[in-house]
Structure 1
Amino acid sequence: MLLIRILIISFTLFCSTLVPAKPVQNYLPTGIQFNKEIPLPSSTLGFEIGQRHVRHDQLTNYFYSLANHSDRVKLTSMGKTPQQREQLLVTISSPQNLENLANILSERDLFSKSKKQLKQQSSSNAPLVIWLGYSVHGDEISGANAAMIVAYYLAANNDKKMAELLANTVIVLEPSINPDGMDRFVNWVNTYRNSSDNSDANHIEHHQNWVTGRTNHFWFDLNRDWLLLSQQESQHRLKYFHQYQPHVVGDFHEMGHNSSYFFQPGIQSRTHPLTPKRNVELTTTLATFHAAALDKQQRLYYSEENFDDFYYGKGSTYPDINGSIGVLFEQASPRGMQQETVNGLLTLEFSIENHVTTSLSTINGAWVNRNQLKQYRSDFYQQSNKLAEKEDFSGYLLHESKDNYRLNALLSKLIQHKIKVYALTTDFEFNDKNYQKGTSYYVPLAQPQFRLIQALFNQQTNFKDNTFYDVSGWTMPLAMNIESIKINRTRGLKLAKQAWSLPASLIKNSASKLAYAYIFEWHHFLAPKLLNQLLASNIKARVATKPFSSLINGKEKHFKAGSIVIPAGIQKNENWQAQLIAASNSTDIYLESVTTGLTMKGVDIGSSSIKPLYQPKAMLLGGMGISQYEAGEVRFYLDETLNIPLSIIDHSKLRRVDLSTYSHIILVDGNYQSVAEHTAKQLKHWVKNGGVIIGQKRAAVWLAKQEILRASFVSKEQINQLFDHENLNYQDKEKLASRKRIAGAIFQVELDTSHPLAYGYQQSLLPVFRDNNLIMEQPKQPFVTLAQYTPTPLLSGYTDKNLVNRLAHNAAIVAHNVGKGRVIATTEVLAFRGYWYGSAKLLANSLFFSKAFSAPYK
C-alpha cells in the first residue's frame, strides 16, 4: 500500500512538470463533430501537441496511423533525405478522388495541353488543388506540429460542408520539408529544456549551437533551393509539385520572437515583374480570409511589410512563376517551449495555433475563390505563347564544347522545371560562329514555361525598387558558366523531334598494354574527383604545367597546361590500370593513351615541367560566428560532389590540433575576431612552413590583418564617400542603405588562364557571385592576381552604379607565396548555393595545384 502511494505521488509530481497543453480539438473551430474512429495525434505521440517537441519519426508515425484509419488520407514517400529520413507527402481528399488520383493528376498536366484543352480545363469540374508546406527551416517547428492538427481536422471532420469540399478539392500536405534539420533542432531543445517552465530568453534552449536546425544535412537553406535544385530534398519535391500543379501554395515559417504574425502580399513594389498582377490581386483576396480568422482570435499580425516576392527560388515564390498563388506565413518563434517577448509570453502552443488558423483560412479562402483560381492558372499558361510572340527573339541557344557534365547538369535542371530543350541535329551558323551538334541545344520561348525560362535566363540589372529580401540575380547559365545567346532567327536551325533527356554514360575507356602513359584533360567538372580517387588509390599522377602535343592513333593531339598525366613506368600498384579505367568510366571522363614519352611538340612526359601531385588533406574551419551556409557550400562541393575528404574543425579547438598533418585550411566568411592571438600565430607559422590557406570574404580581410595575406581592402568610410548624404530625409534611410548593399548579384571577372589555379578554364571571362561590398584593391605586384573585375562588371542583378564603378578593374581573387606556403583569397562566394559550377572549380584547383605556381610578394 505504501509503495502504491509512493508511485501515485511520483506520477503526480512527474505530470506536474509537463507543460500543460490543450487537446487537439481546442486548436480547431468549435461546433464540429469529429469521427471517433480517426486517431488523435496524442494516441500515437503519447502526449498532446504543444506539450513537447515532436521528432520526425513521431511525426511520420502519426501520419501512417492516420492513413491506416482514414480513407480520406493517402501517403506518398517522395524519397529519403541524406540522413535517410522519409520525405512524406500527404494527400487528403474524398475516397473517390483518391482512388482516381492518377487520372486527376494526368488531366491536370498543363504542360502537354493544347490551347483548347487549357480553356476547357479552366471551366471544368476538375478539383481545386491546395498545397501546404511546413517547416522548411527545421527549427521553425510550429509548422510541422500544425500539420498534424490540420490533417486530423480534414480526416475526422464529419460536417457535410467538409464532405462537399473534399469531393471537389485535393489538399496536399508536406508536414516536414526539412526532416534532418527538424531533428537536429528537436534534439537540441529536448536536451536543454527544463522540467519546470522557463521563459528566460537567455536560456540555452533558445540558442542553438553551430550548425542550427535551420539547414538540411549539408547546411543548405532549402527555402532557397526550389529554383536551383542542388539538394536531393528539393529534387524529390519538385517532381510531385509538378504532378499536382496546385492552385494555391501555403509556405509556413517562423521569424524573430518579438514579431507577431505575417502573411502576404508583402511589399508589392518588390514583386518580380514576371509575376502577373492578377497573382497579387488574388493573394490580397486570400489575405482577407487570414485577417478575418486572426481577428476572431484577436491575434496581432501584419501583411505589407518586410517580405517580398522577388527571388523565385523560395517556397512562396516558385509557385508564382508556375501559375500558382504562393503565400508566405511567418509566426513569431519561441525557439523552444516558451519565451518572454515584447508582446508577452510566447509559447509553442500559441505559435502552432496561429499556423493552424491560417492553414484553415487558406483552404477556406481558396475554396470560396476556386473558380477565379482555376481561371487564373489556365490564363497563366494560355498567355505563354502570346507573350513569347512579343519578344524580339525566339529562344536561347546553349553551348559548351568541352565539359558535357556542366552542360548536362544545366539541361537536367531545366527539364526538372518542365522546360523543353532540343538538341541540334546539324551545325548552326549564327553571328559568324559555328555551333556544333552534340554540344549545342535550343530552348524555345514558345512553350508553357515561358515565364520560368525568362526567370532563369534573364539578366536584368535595373529595378523599380532596389531593396531585396534575397538575391537579385541568379541567372542559371551564368552560374554554370555555359554560353547562352538569344536567337532572333530559326532559319537553318535543325532540331531533334523529341525533347532532350539525360543520356546514359557514353565513355567506355579500356586498358592498353602498350600505354606508356594515360592522359586526361582538366576541363571536365569531375576531373578533380577522378584525380583524387586515383591519388587515394596510390596511383601516381602528374600535372603538365606547360602544353604539349602527342601522336595518338596517327593524329596529333594537343594537350593544354593542366592536363593530368599518369605514367605507367612509375606505378607501384599492381592493379593500377584496372582501377584507373574503372574510375575514369565512373566519372565519364575520356582517357588518352600514348605509347612514347617523346612528344611531337612541347615538353616530354618525363619533363620536370610535368609535376608530381599529392592527395590533399584539407580542413574547413567552423564554429560559432562562421557562416554555416558558406561552410556547407564548400563541404557539399568538395566532400559530396568530388568525394574529397574534408575535416571540419571548430576554430575554438584549433590550438589543440596538429596543423602539420593538413595540407590546406579553408576559411569561409565569418567573424574570426575571437580566434586567439596564439592560434593566429600558429596558423601563420604553418603557412610559412608549406601550408596552403584559402580565405573567402571576411576571412580574407582577417588574413590580411594577420599579415598572412598581402592585400588592401576598401574601408567602410571609403564606401560611404561614394554616396551623397546631403539633403536626405529620414524616409530615405532605407533606400540609402540598400544602395550601399550588394544583396546578391552576378559580376564578370577576367581570369588569368595561364595561371595554374585557372587550369581547365577555356575562356578568360568568368561570371562570379557576390553578396557583399568588400572590395579588394588591385595589387601593384605582378603575377599575384588570379582574377580581376572587368571595366563594366555587372552582369545580372542590382548593384548601385557607384559600387559597380568602384569594383571595376579591382581584384576578385589573389594568390601568392608566404614562405614555403601559399595564401589564396577572394571576395566572392565561389560555390554559392551548390549550383555555381563556374567558379566552384577554383576551390578544387586550389587544393591540387597550389604548389604548381610561385608568386613571391616582394
Structure 2
Amino acid sequence: MLLIRIIILSITLLCSTKLIAMPVQDYLPTGSQFNSEISLPSNSLGFEIGQRHVRHDQLKNYFYQLAKDSERVSITSMGKTAQQREQLLVTISSAKNLANLSNILNDRDILSQKPSVKANQKTSLKKRQLDKQMAGNAPLVIWLGYSVHGDEISGANAAMIVAYYLAANTDEKMAELLANTVIVLEPSINPDGMDRFVNWVSTYRNSTDNSDTNHIEHHQDWVTGRTNHFWFDLNRDWLLLSQQESQHRLKYFHQYQPHVVGDFHEMGHNSSYFFQPGIQSRTHPLTPKRNVELTTTLATFHAAALDKQKRLYYSEENFDDFYYGKGSTYPDINGSIGILFEQASARGMQQETINGLLTLEFSIKNHVTTSLSTINGAWKNREQLKQYRSDFYQQSDKLAKKENFSGYLLHESKDHFRLNALLSKLAQHKINAYPLNADFEFKDKKYQKNNSYYIPLAQPQFRLIQALFNQQTDFKDNTFYDVSGWTMPLAMNIESTQINRTRGLKIANQAWTKPAEFSQNSKSSSAYGYIFEWHHFLAPKLLNNLLANNIKARVATKTFTSVINGKNKNFRTGSIVIPAGIQQNPDWQATLLAASNSTGIKLDSISTGLTMKGVDIGSSSLKPISKAKTLLLGGSGMSQYEAGEVRFYLDETLNIPLSIIDHAQLSRVDLSSYTHIILVDGNYQHVTEHTAKQLKKWVEQGGVIIGQKRAARWLAKQEILQARFVSKDQINQLFDNEGLSYQDKEGLASRKRIAGAIFQVELDISHPLAYGYQQTLLPMFRNSNLIMEHPKQPFVTLAQYTPAPLLSGYTDKNLVNRLAHNAAIIAHNVGKGRVIATTEVLAFRGYWHGSAKLLANSLFFSKAFSASYK
C-alpha cells in the first residue's frame, strides 16, 4: 500500500511540473476529418508543437514537407536574411488555383503597371474597370503574417498548425473555400530574431517546467529576439524599407494584393488577448471609414471563436492604426483590411500571471483560433471585401481631383544617391515618379530636368502618396502608440514641392527605373591628384575605403578653384583631395578608381597643385584625415534600436568597422586604440563611476565621444559635455493641471511626450561637422522631450531649432515653443579631445538619410574644428 501511494504521489508531482504536450488536433476545431497522408508537424519536428520551442530550420523543414505531401501547398523563397535564413512565403489554395496562380495575380494587379503618363488615366481606368468586373469571380486573398518580433514566438508555432489544417482537412466546406480563396502565410517574418530567442530560451529552460516570472528564461539579454540581425524592429519597416526582409516581402505583398491581412504578435504576460478595431479615434484619417467598419465586422468572428473557448480578450483599447509602417496598418493604405492580434506572452514555456498559469500551448491555440476566425470571417464577407478593394482604387482619381494641387515635384541637384534612394522606395510602393524632359519653372524657381521628378496624384496609390508626403501637425486624437511624423522627403532631405499647375511641365513617358551602374572614372597617369566632393551620401564610404587601403587624403577647410577639363570649378569646404605625390601604396590609383566607381562618385583629376583661386593643394588648410577606429557602447540599459541604427549606418551602409563593447566590460578595455566612442540613448545609471572616469580621461587625452539623447545628458553630468538640459519639473511647469479630472490623466501624459515628430533646425554649414550640406535648414527626427538649452558660448552650436520648428507630426505647442531657438547639436573641445552631443536620433530607423551624415562627419572631421568652452 505504501508503495502504491508513493507511485501515485510521484505521478501527481510529475503532472504538476511537466505540462502534457498537446497533439495538433487539440489546437483545432472539433469534428474535422484529416488526410492521413499529410504529415503532422510532430512527424517532421520529432515533438509536439508547444512541447519545446521550434527553431527556424525546423519550421522551414516542416513547410517543405507539407508542400511535398499536399497539392494545396506551394512554397516561395522570397529571399534570405542577413544571417542567410530563408524567408518563406506559403501559398495555400486548391490545386487548380495554384496551377493558375500567376494568371490569378496578374488579372487582379493594378499597381505594377507603369504605363505612359500621357495614357495613365485612360489605361488605369480601363484596368480598374476590368478589375471591378472580375471582382466577383476572382479568388479572395488572405495574408497571415506571424512573429515579426522574433521573441513573440506563438505566432510561428501557430502558422504550422494553421497550414496543416488547411492542407489536410478533407471537409467539403474546406474544398469549397480553397477553390475560391488564396491563403498566404508568412510563418516567420523575422527568422534571425526568432532563432536568437529560441537559443536563449532553450539554453535556460530547466528540465522541470518553471513558471517563476523572475526565472532567466523569461528575461533575454541585450539584444533581444524582438529585432532582426541589425537590431531593427521589422514591424516599423513596412513603409521605410530600410531592411532587406521588408524589401523582399513587399514585392510579394504587391503581387498578391490581399483583401485581409492578419498580423500576429505577443504582449505583456499579464494581459489577455487583443484584436482590432482598437481605439477608432486613433486611426489615420487617410484610412477609409469602411475599413474600420469591415474590421469591426470581422472582430465579431474573433469574439465568437474565443467566446466558445471561454478565453479572455478585449478589442477597443490600446494600440492605434495611425503609423502606416506596421504590418497591420500598411495594408490599410493599400486597399486591404489589416488586423492586429496580440496574445499575452509566456516568453518561455510557461509563466504565472494575474490570469493564472500562461503556457506556450495556450498562446499558440489563441493565435490558431483567430487565424481561422480571420479566414472564416473573410470568407463569409468575401463580396464586401472584394467590393471594398475595388472601390478603394476606383476612388483614387476622384480624390486626386479634390485636391488643390496636381502632384509633387522632387528635386535634388547634388546628391543623386539620396534622390534615387527615395525614388527606389516609391517604386517599391508602386508609386510612379516621372523624370522631367525639360527644365520647369514654378514660383520663380527653375527645376532642372536632370535632377527633378514629378509624382502625379492621379494614380492608383493616391492615398499612399499622401501618407508618405503629408506634413500634418494637427490631429483629432493626440495619443500615439508610435511615431506621428514620418514624411519621407523630409527624412531623405529631398526638396518636395506641391505644384498646382502642369502647364509647361514636360515629363518622360515612362516612370523612374533604377539607373545603370556608374563606371565613369578612369585613370590619369599624369594626374597631380584627384578630388571628390563631400555632398554625396556615400562619400564617407569612399573615404573610409581609401584610408583602409593606406591612401592618404586631405579635407579642404577652405574653398578653392581648380581647372578641370579646361574649365574653372569651385570646390567647397569638405572636398576630399588625394595628392599623388604623397601616396605610398603602389596600387593607389587602381584602388581609388574601383572604390569611386562602386560608390557612384565622380572624381575630378587635377594637373597642378596651383589653384586659380583660394588655397593651393599644399596648403595647411587641407588637413590630413586619419582612419577612425570606433567603439559603440552597448549592454543592458542601452537602446538596442538606436545602437542598431548606428551599426546599420556605419557598418552596413558605409562599411566602417564598428566594435561593440558591453559597458560592463569597458573597464578591461584599452581605450587608447580607439579614436571615437559612440553612446546612444539609454539608462546610464548602470555605468560605473570608474568607467565614467576612464572615459573622461580618454577624451581629455585626445579621444572623441559622441552622445545621443540621454547619453548626452549623462556626459553633462560627468562634466565631459558643457551643456544644460531642461529638467522634468520645468517640462511639467509648461502644462496647466488645474481643472483636470482623473480621466484627463492619459491625455496630459500624451501632451508631455514627443512620440516621434519631425523638426527643423538651422545648421551652421561653415562648421566642419556640417561639410557636405548645401542648405542651412535641415529636417531632423526627435522622439523624446529632452531639451538641450542653447549655449551662450560662441562656435559650439552646430544646429539649433528654428523659431517655429515643427514640420510634421504631433507635438504640443508648449513643447514646440520650448524647443524653439534651443540647441539640437553642440560640439566642443575637451582637453585634446572633442565631445559631440545631440538630443535627436541621427540615423533613425535606417531611412533618415538627411541627418545620418552628421554621424559620419563626426568620425572623419572631429579634429578639423576647434571650439573651446571657457
TM-score strictly above 0.5 = yes
- Aligned residue for 2:626? 614
Preserved contact between residue 539 and residue 601 of structure 2 (Cα < 8 Å): yes
Aligned residue among 806, 810, 820 for 1:808? 820
- Aligned residue for 1:7? none
- Aligned residue for 2:836? 824
Preserved contact between residue 17 and residue 195 of structure 1 (Cα < 8 Å): no
Instruction: Return the letter of the residue paired with 1:481.
Output: N
CA distance in 1, matches of 2:553, 2:329: 48
Aligned residue among 686, 689, 701 for 2:713? 701
CA distance in 2, matches of 1:726, 1:16: 54
- Aligned residue for 2:8? none
Aligned residue among 232, 253, 267 for 1:241? 253
- Aligned residue for 1:366? 378
- Aligned residue for 1:75? 75
Three-state SS of the structure 2 residue aligned to 1:683 is helix
1:728 maps to 2:740: yes
Deviations 1:732-763 (A, max 9, x none): 11110000000000000000000000000000
Instruction: Return the letter of the residue paired with 1:118.
Output: R
CA distance in 2, matches of 1:706, 1:260: 44
Preserved contact between residue 237 and residue 243 of structure 2 (Cα < 8 Å): yes
CA distance in 2, matches of 1:25, 1:118: 43
Instruction: Return the letter of the residue paired with 2:328.
Output: S
Instruction: Return the letter of the residue paired with 2:125.
Output: K
Three-state SS of the structure 2 residue aligned to 1:110 is coil
Three-state SS of the structure 2 residue aligned to 1:615 is coil
CA distance in 2, matches of 1:343, 1:86: 37
- Aligned residue for 1:432? 444
- Aligned residue for 2:128? 118
Deviations 1:700-739 (A, max 9, x none): 0000000000000000111011110111111111110000
Three-state SS of the structure 1 residue aligned to 2:508 is coil
- Aligned residue for 1:133? 145
Deviations 1:26-59 (A, max 9, x none): 1001111100000000000000000000000000
Query: 1:508: Cα distance to partner?
Result: 1.4
The within-5 A match list for 1:209-358 is 209-358=221-370
Deviations 1:495-527 (A, max 9, x none): 000111011123410111111110000000000
Aligned residue among 788, 792, 808 for 1:796? 808
1:100 maps to 2:100: yes
- Aligned residue for 2:118? none
- Aligned residue for 2:864? 852
Instruction: Return the letter of the residue paired with 1:756.
Output: P
Query: 1:120: Cα distance to partner?
Result: 4.4
Preserved contact between residue 518 and residue 598 of structure 2 (Cα < 8 Å): no
Aligned residue among 647, 651, 655 for 1:639? 651
1:629 maps to 2:641: yes
Preserved contact between residue 124 and residue 460 of structure 2 (Cα < 8 Å): no
CA distance in 2, matches of 1:174, 1:416: 19
Query: 1:116: Cα distance to partner?
Result: 4.6
CA distance in 2, matches of 1:536, 1:506: 22
Deviations 1:245-292 (A, max 9, x none): 000000000000000000000000000000000000000000000000
Query: 1:554: Cα distance to partner?
Result: 1.3
Instruction: Return the letter of the residue paired with 1:411.
Output: L
Deviations 1:215-258 (A, max 9, x none): 00000000000000000000000000000000000000000000
1:39 maps to 2:7: no
Aligned residue among 711, 714, 718 for 2:726? 714
Query: 1:319: Cα distance to partner?
Result: 0.0
Instruction: Return the letter of the residue paired with 1:340.
Output: E
Deviations 1:445-493 (A, max 9, x none): 0000000000000000000000000000000000000000001000010
Three-state SS of the structure 2 residue aligned to 1:252 is strand
Query: 1:108: Cα distance to partner?
Result: 1.1
The within-5 A match list for 1:453-468 is 453-468=465-480
CA distance in 2, matches of 1:768, 1:131: 35
CA RMSD of aligned residues (A): 1.2
Query: 1:18: Cα distance to partner?
Result: 6.0
Preserved contact between residue 130 and residue 363 of structure 1 (Cα < 8 Å): yes
Three-state SS of the structure 2 residue aligned to 1:234 is helix
Three-state SS of the structure 2 residue aligned to 1:573 is coil
Instruction: Return the letter of the residue paired with 1:575.
Output: D
Deviations 1:516-546 (A, max 9, x none): 1100000000000000000000000010000
Query: 1:114: Cα distance to partner?
Result: 3.6
CA distance in 2, matches of 1:632, 1:114: 41
Deviations 1:413-461 (A, max 9, x none): 0000000010001000111111101100000000000000000000000
- Aligned residue for 2:3? none
Instruction: Return the letter of the residue paired with 2:287.
Output: T
Preserved contact between residue 136 and residue 383 of structure 2 (Cα < 8 Å): no
Instruction: Return the letter of the residue paired with 1:640.
Output: E
CA distance in 1, matches of 2:175, 2:58: 28
Three-state SS of the structure 2 residue aligned to 1:415 is helix
Three-state SS of the structure 1 residue aligned to 2:43 is helix
Instruction: Return the letter of the residue paired with 2:532.
Output: F
CA distance in 2, matches of 1:457, 1:157: 46
CA distance in 2, matches of 1:19, 1:64: 29
104-113 or 440-449, which deviates more: 104-113
CA distance in 2, matches of 1:119, 1:170: 22
Deviations 1:385-409 (A, max 9, x none): 0000000000000000000000000
Gaps of 5+ in 2: 1-12, 114-122
Query: 1:15: Cα distance to partner?
Result: 12
Instruction: Return the letter of the residue paired with 2:367.
Output: H
CA distance in 2, matches of 1:60, 1:588: 39
Query: 1:361: Cα distance to partner?
Result: 0.1
Deviations 1:345-389 (A, max 9, x none): 000000000000000000000000000000000000000000000
1:661 maps to 2:673: yes
Preserved contact between residue 796 and residue 867 of structure 2 (Cα < 8 Å): yes
Instruction: Return the letter of the residue paired with 1:115.
Output: L
- Aligned residue for 2:617? 605
Query: 1:340: Cα distance to partner?
Result: 0.1
TM-score by length of 2: 0.97
- Aligned residue for 2:496? 484
Q: CA 1:437/1:120 → structure 2, altered by over 3 Å: closer, same or farther?
A: closer
Deviations 1:638-681 (A, max 9, x none): 00000000000000110000000000000000011121111111
- Aligned residue for 1:26? 26
114-123 or 33-42, which deviates more: 114-123
Preserved contact between residue 507 and residue 588 of structure 1 (Cα < 8 Å): yes
Deviations 1:290-320 (A, max 9, x none): 0000000000000000011000000000000
504-513 or 515-524, which deviates more: 504-513
1:517 maps to 2:512: no
- Aligned residue for 1:6? none
- Aligned residue for 2:52? 52
Preserved contact between residue 352 and residue 358 of structure 2 (Cα < 8 Å): yes
Preserved contact between residue 323 and residue 381 of structure 1 (Cα < 8 Å): yes
The within-5 A match list for 1:164-175 is 164-175=176-187
Three-state SS of the structure 2 residue aligned to 1:486 is strand
1:767 maps to 2:779: yes
- Aligned residue for 2:116? none
1:671 maps to 2:698: no
1:685 maps to 2:697: yes
Query: 1:629: Cα distance to partner?
Result: 0.1
Query: 1:553: Cα distance to partner?
Result: 1.5
Instruction: Return the letter of the residue paired with 1:66.
Output: L
Preserved contact between residue 541 and residue 565 of structure 1 (Cα < 8 Å): yes
Three-state SS of the structure 2 residue aligned to 1:31 is coil
CA distance in 2, matches of 1:837, 1:826: 16
Instruction: Return the letter of the residue paired with 2:37.
Output: E
119-128 or 473-482, which deviates more: 119-128
Three-state SS of the structure 2 residue aligned to 1:673 is helix
TM-score by length of 1: 0.98
Instruction: Return the letter of the residue paired with 1:95.
Output: A
294-303 or 544-553, which deviates more: 544-553
The within-5 A match list for 1:499-514 is 499-514=511-526
CA distance in 2, matches of 1:787, 1:562: 18
